[in-house]
Amino acid sequence: MKKYDEIIKKEVFVCNCCGEQIAAVDESDRAAFLDVRKAWGYFSKWDGCIHHFHICEKCYEKMIQSWLYPPDVAEQTELM
């Protein structure tokens, strides 16, 4: 989630799970977080809705530990 931080006078990303600040928007390319945008399709409970949220690395790790099947992980060979 994005919100405006009155103290640093910048828009920031906040984890939708724990509420912790992840990064300022202009520093987001250096921060580690999951950015999810899902447009729901026909016949779903949220047909026609777009969900968008951010999850910090700590909450992501907790989330995937609860899954029956872990996510596929591949090593990235070129880092930008």
- Which pLDDT tens digit goes with each residue over 15-27? 999 999 998 877 7
How many CB atoms lie under 10 A from the CB of residue 49? 10
Q: How far is residue 16's CA from residue 3's CA, in Å, rounded to a whole number?
A: 11
Domain annotation covers residue 37: yes
Is the per-residue pLDDT at 65 higher than 80?
yes
How many domains is the chain partitioned into structurally?
1
Asked if residue 37 has pLDDT above 70, the reply is yes
Q: Which range marks the domain in which residue 41 is found?
A: 2-61
**Cα dihedral 30, 15, 54, 13 sign:** negative
Residue 72 lies in a domain: no
**Residue percentage of the chain with pLDDT more than 70:** 91
Question: 72 pLDDT band (50/70/90 cuts)?
Answer: very high
Residue 11 falls inside a structural domain? yes
